[in-house]
Amino acid sequence: MTATAGPSTEESGGRFRISRSSPDATAGTWVAVAVVALLAILPFVGGDSTQRTLIGILTYLSLAQMWNLLAGFAGLITIGQQAFVGVGAYTLLVAAERNGVDPFLSIVAAGVVCAVLSAPVALFAFRLRGGYFAIGTWVIAEVFRLIALEIGPLEAGNVQSLTRRNALSGYDIDQLRDLIYWSSLALAAGATLVVVLVLRSRLGLALRAVRDDEAGAKGLGIDVTRTRLIVWMLASGWMGMTGALVHLNSQSINAPDAFSVLLWTALVIFIVVIGGVGSTTGPIIGVIVFWVVSDKLTDWFDLDDPWRFIILGILAALFAVFAPRGIYGWLQSWRPLQFFPVRRRLVGPGLEE
Amino acid sequence: MDWVNAVIQGILLGGLYALFATGLSLAFGVLRFVNLAHGDLAILGAYLAFSSISTFDVSVWATFFIVVPIMFAIGYVAQRGLFDFTLGEDPLPSILVSFGLGVVIQNALLVHYSATDRGLSVGSLATESIRVTNDISIGWFPVIILLVAVALLGGMQLFLSFTPLGRAFRAVSDDRDTARLMGINHRNLYGLAMGIAFATVAVAGIFLGSRTTFAPAQGPSQLLFAFEAVVIGGLGSLWGTLLGGIVLGVAQTVGNQVDVDYGWVGGVLLGHLVFLAVLAFRPSGLLGAKS
């Protein structure tokens, strides 16, 4: 298959081509690599509290990238990802605390468990569309929480701790914190990279085609269900890993928090919507706003926890209505920069800007 | 006997769920708007009634005349000032704005009223009941709720079928652009439809608050129950919504009875599972048209 660009390719000696890179995207990629490298060496130059703050931000970035992949690119607007955070947390508990598996290996196991579990979830949820899909996934997340409470040996009715004797044995406190920090950096940077790679692939093209016109995409031979299922399982597994890591960091697991729609879905949605839904840069911008509001603003004005939901919720609702592309959309309309090389452009004679 | 009682109580509980579902169904039917703040609005209605009682020293029944008009007005303004901008092919903005609004309402209620359980007292009516046998008695208040639900759904059906405004609602629902060409002001209609949806959810919220206690965090589960009633009954069928509410109510009370007898499942979970079963085996719902 070479004749994709039509006869003009032949006439102009094949100088037309599809390009995904651009000078700004190349620069953006290098900036991203440099930032990740700088963050990676942070534990060697100290800063305990900075590390702890960053763990919170990076785990939220990981969740936000994955929610954005589902809602912004695949048209799967889920309000049920707390299911996978919760299952990830309890997988960590069972593997690391009860059965002596290394906690970081347990995080990977949590990802596998959640990816596998997400397939039957899709069987039910994919029957619904749009807003009904959103509520349907929420119901399924509730089912996960209630079933976790029904499984006696989990003892999900009580707060469970990860103890130094079992799950955390073999690691001293500083070592553990550094490893958790690097893991959260890996999950956040990895999530961003995975989304960029997905968008650059055929799968990414198919996703956006399905999102924009499902019938049309079907007509072009795209297997809609398969396409959606792949990203759904990928994102669910990633959320499960993130959920396990969050709870390895907090060292305690409580069912209402582990399966909390407010903590793991509402805040994540607000981050993505404020930053810019449907762009890979949006969640990064959003997570900075999230940090300013939930760490700094509440500190300065001495606000209770509900206030960060109120402030971020109002911001997100206003953005959803009046600026649906978020802060990233604003920046785009001011100067159309492309931070990650994901957009396809036609390059050729007479087409240079 | 326990089981018969569970089924009867479930049917009565279904009336409340049908009441919750009416507004959700109407907003989706007329506006294609899935209101994720629906449950939180019900709880808001209950708190407005709570405040009315303590401020004006009136009975629960009087609060309907205060809270329902207020909620109607909020609904109209919310539609004209906020939701109107999200209407379109893409469902994302409407989902995001209503979800965000729900979270804001829930947390604002938490800040203002605290997490303490509240209740609305209907006096002796709360305990008066019809005694059928020694084991089974039917409370008057749940019966009233069920009757109100039937009346509201029936009234809604008549309103949509026979009044000029109802016809206009159906017209904009079927084909907005043609309806506009016929001289219908769809924005005003949308505002009215959302106002009515908010008003019905206020009624449901006040009944919920009088039947049991309520707290700010309860909104989402009310949304899920209302949604389940709509899907079980079948989209676009008002009587289906009543049936869906009753099926859900029975599933929950029977589930609770199973929990009492065998220490397993529990009502809410069994209700969710019945909903998932309907979704898997009869996605158009019990009374919905086959798609």
CA atoms B222, B36, B201, B213: torsion sign: positive
Q: Which run of H or of E encompasses A288?
A: helix A282-291
Please check the confidence at residue A65 and state whether its pLDDT lies above 60.
yes
- Cα(A316)–Cα(A273) distance, integer angstroms: 6
Question: B2-281 is classed in which CATH architecture?
Answer: Orthogonal Bundle (1.10)
Q: What are the Cα distances from residue A196, in Å, to A20, A112, A342, B62, B242?
A: 11, 21, 6, 58, 47
Please, are residues B21 and B75 in contact by the beta-carbon 8 Å criterion?
no
Please, are residues B223 and B43 in contact by the beta-carbon 8 Å criterion?
no
In a mutagenesis test of the A interface, which of B103, B105, B113, B222 is the best target, namely the one with the most A β-carbons within 10 Å? B103
Are residues A313 and B264, on separate chains, in Cβ contact within 8 Å?
no
Model confidence at B289, pLDDT cuts 50, 70, 90, reads low
Write out pLDDT tens, residues B120-176. Answer: 888 778 778 888 777 788 888 999 999 999 999 999 989 988 999 998 888 888 888
With a threshold of 0.90, tell me whether the complex ipTM lies above it: yes
- Cα(A121)–Cα(A134) distance, integer angstroms: 13
Judge whether B86 is closer than 8 Å to chain A, CB to CB.
Answer: yes
- Cα(A98)–Cα(A166) distance, integer angstroms: 7
Residue among B97, B224, B280 minimizing CB distance to A320 = B97
Judge whether A299 is closer than 8 Å to chain B, CB to CB.
Answer: no
- Cα(B249)–Cα(B263) distance, integer angstroms: 19
**How many helices and strands (H and E) does chain A possess?**
18, 4
How many alpha carbons lie under 13 Å from residue B175 in its C-beta half-sphere?
Answer: 5
Judge whether B221 is closer than 8 Å to chain A, CB to CB.
Answer: yes
Average pLDDT over all residues of chain B: 90
Q: Reduce the DSSP state of residue A60 to 3 states and report it.
A: helix
Residue A14, pLDDT score:
59
Are residues A320 and B280, on separate chains, in Cβ contact within 8 Å?
no
Give the whole-number percent of chain A exceeding pLDDT 90: 54
User: What residue of B is the nearest CA neighbor of A261?
Assistant: B220
Please check the confidence at residue B39 and state whether its pLDDT lies above 90.
yes
Model confidence at A9, pLDDT cuts 50, 70, 90, reads very low
Model confidence at B66, pLDDT cuts 50, 70, 90, reads very high
Write out pLDDT tens, residues A84-101. Answer: 999 999 999 999 999 989
Judge whether A159 is closer than 8 Å to chain B, CB to CB.
Answer: no
Residue among A127, A134, A304 minimizing CB distance to B95 = A134
Q: Reduce the DSSP state of residue A169 to 3 states and report it.
A: coil
Domain residue spans in chain A?
50-259, 266-334
Q: Reduce the DSSP state of residue A174 to 3 states and report it.
A: helix
Please check the confidence at residue A235 and state whether its pLDDT lies above 80.
yes
Write out pLDDT tens, residues A202-212. Answer: 888 888 888 88
- Cα(B79)–Cα(B94) distance, integer angstroms: 11
Judge whether A320 is closer than 8 Å to chain B, CB to CB.
Answer: yes
A-B interface: how many C-beta pairs under 8 angstroms?
121
Are residues A77 and B95, on separate chains, in Cβ contact within 8 Å?
yes
Please check the confidence at residue A11 and state whether its pLDDT lies above 50.
no
Residue B37, pLDDT score:
95
Model confidence at A352, pLDDT cuts 50, 70, 90, reads low
- Cα(B17)–Cα(B272) distance, integer angstroms: 13
Residue A2, pLDDT score:
40
3-state helix/strand/coil string of chain B: CHHHHHHHHHHHHHHHHHHHHHHHHHHHHHHCCCCCCHHHHHHHHHHHHHHHHHHHCCCHHHHHHHHHHHHHHHHHHHHHHCHHHHCCCCCHHHHHHHHHHHHHHHHHHHHHHCCCCECCCCHHHHCCEEECCCCCEEEHHHHHHHHHHHHHHHHHHHHHHHCHHHHHHHHHHHCHHHHHHCCCCHHHHHHHHHHHHHHHHHHHHHHHHHHCCECHHHHHHHHHHHHHHHHHHCCCCHHHHHHHHHHHHHHHHHHHHHHHHHCCCCHHHHHHHHHHHHHHHCCCCCCCCCC
Are residues A310 and B107, on separate chains, in Cβ contact within 8 Å?
yes
Q: Which of A299-308, B168-177, B238-247 has the highest mean pLDDT?
A: B238-247
Contacts B110 to A, Cβ<8 Å: 306
Judge whether A138 is closer than 8 Å to chain B, CB to CB.
Answer: yes
- Cα(B261)–Cα(A305) distance, integer angstroms: 40
Residue B217, pLDDT score:
93
Residue A8, pLDDT score:
43
Please, are residues B157 and B170 in contact by the beta-carbon 8 Å criterion?
no
DSSP letter at A19 equals E
Residue A10, pLDDT score:
43
Q: What is the mean pLDDT of residues A189-195?
A: 95
CA-atom Rg of chain B in angstroms = 19
Better-predicted residue by pLDDT, A164 or B205: B205
Please check the confidence at residue A12 and state whether its pLDDT lies above 80.
no
Judge whether A141 is closer than 8 Å to chain B, CB to CB.
Answer: no
Of A7-16, A70-79, A239-248, A316-325, the one with minimum mean pLDDT is A7-16
- pTM of the entire predicted model: 0.91
Better-predicted residue by pLDDT, A174 or A340: A174
Q: How far is A132 from chain B (nearest CA, A)?
A: 7
Judge whether B275 is closer than 8 Å to chain A, CB to CB.
Answer: yes
Residue A344, pLDDT score:
77
Please, are residues B43 and B263 in contact by the beta-carbon 8 Å criterion?
no
Residue A351, pLDDT score:
63
Model confidence at B90, pLDDT cuts 50, 70, 90, reads confident
Q: What angle do CA B271, B28, B103 make, to 5 degrees?
A: 70
Give the whole-number percent of chain B exceeding pLDDT 90: 57
Q: How far is A261 from chain B (nearest CA, A)?
A: 9
User: What residue of A is the nearest CA neighbor of B95?
Assistant: A131
- Cα(A102)–Cα(A249) distance, integer angstroms: 14
Residue A219, pLDDT score:
87
